[in-house]
Structure 1
Amino acid sequence: MLQLYFTAVAYLAQLAAAHGGALNYTVGDTWYAGYDPFGPKDQDDAPYIVQRKWITNEPIFETTNASLACNFPGNPARAYIPINAGENITAVYNTWVHTVGPMIAWLTPCANNDCSTFDPAGAEWFKIGQQGLLWGTIEGGGWFQKEFSRWDGSPSLWSERIPETLRAGKYLVRHEIISLHSAHKPQFYPECAHLDVKGSGTGFPTKEFMAKIPGVYSMDQPEINIDVYDPEISTKTEYKIPGPLVWTG
């Protein structure tokens, strides 16, 4: 009942602010509690929280902001999500209202196999999944971000697969939504959670798949510094998601 209360409060607060973020995660039928920016203060010491702390659902606007890695303040979580390489992890959003822009899931290994002391700012990240323009034009077409949104009160679910050959260890998973509905003013919504990846794989991406965050984006990129209502852009039917290719293992 307590969890339902917190979920309802977060849902109403996010609707009022017209923004959002990942609040929980699932692997199979198991739910894992994220950090609720509208929840109680004792979350900071809760042993079951798997998500790094974030205190507002307002976006990050600067491509050079250190908080772009894991939001602000990004304090480490106390727990990990156990997951086997090859399984899907699903980020659960209680509400999402924006419709234009890419969604990217990233991983980075925690130094010394310990995420509790790991600073992700400037770390090397790699993509495990990304979603963008599915059909139609940049302005009026069907973005995954739009189809992912739910307006009936049910949660929005975003699922990506942990590469089956990935070597075991402790990782940060970063779910990032980039909203492009404001001309030349991209909005970044990142959240990070701690993963304990199990498996017998030995795979790891090579350098061309890696990128620093912040560092991967700049206002010099036309995919970031974009006006989706500009007639020369709005009718295009392709959008290149910025950053390196997805590593599938």
Structure 2
Amino acid sequence: MNNLKYIILMAIGCHMGCTSEVTHEGPLFTRLSTEETGIDFSNDLTFDAKFNVYTYRNFYNGGGVSIGDINRDGLPDIYLTANLKPNKLFLNKGDLKFKDVTESAGVAGTRAWSTGVTMADVNGDGLLDIYVCNSGDIEGDNKQNELFINNGDLTFTESAAAYGLDDRGFSTHASFFDYDKDGDLDAYVLNNSYQSIASFTLRKNERPKRDVLGGDKMMRNDDGKFIDVSEQAGVYGSIIGFGLGVTVGDVNGDTWD
């Protein structure tokens, strides 16, 4: 009798396993229009004889996007960066409706050629701030990264210099995490080399030489001021670095990011 029950269960299991199929009807995602969402943004590029894909190799690398709840209403808001136009912040009003609050929030940015953007509570006040990386070889633009500190009233104050995060390199992305476990967020700033590939002479052993503009940086948060500890942290920072994105995690499982 027990053998019979076992056979019946096996038969049922086989039948279910062999005949059950997962089917998807229609697309998994639906593209919504600007009219439906209120998100009006396009990273349009124009080039001339001085600035184009031949004079700047990252011309078509694109901008960045960061999503986070800037006003703590439980809805994710969106910040988009542009290369040759102002960046934009869209406030989530619910039901996939967004409002452009860039100007009133004061986060359009003053630098040309923004790249990656990260939302993080940089000053530990419980509000998400916005850190924008800037790059591009544009005449008259000194490329400092920008840090927009959240004032808690849907306005922001640009404070990169005050925090020591106004990096002048060809920054492409940044990640904030507590690398020394002291309770505040530190920053890893990813920079891309500013020299043309043709100018590199690997025979001169450029790889181990640190470069203030082209190299990556590990910035430790010391009481609200970010200090460059790249060398002591062992962070690679050569002029021939070509990083485009950075992700932080506990790779080896030792509880340290």
Shared fold, TM over 0.5:
no
When Rg is computed on C-alpha atoms for both structures, the one with the higher figure is 2
TM-score between the two structures when normalised by the length of structure 1? 0.30
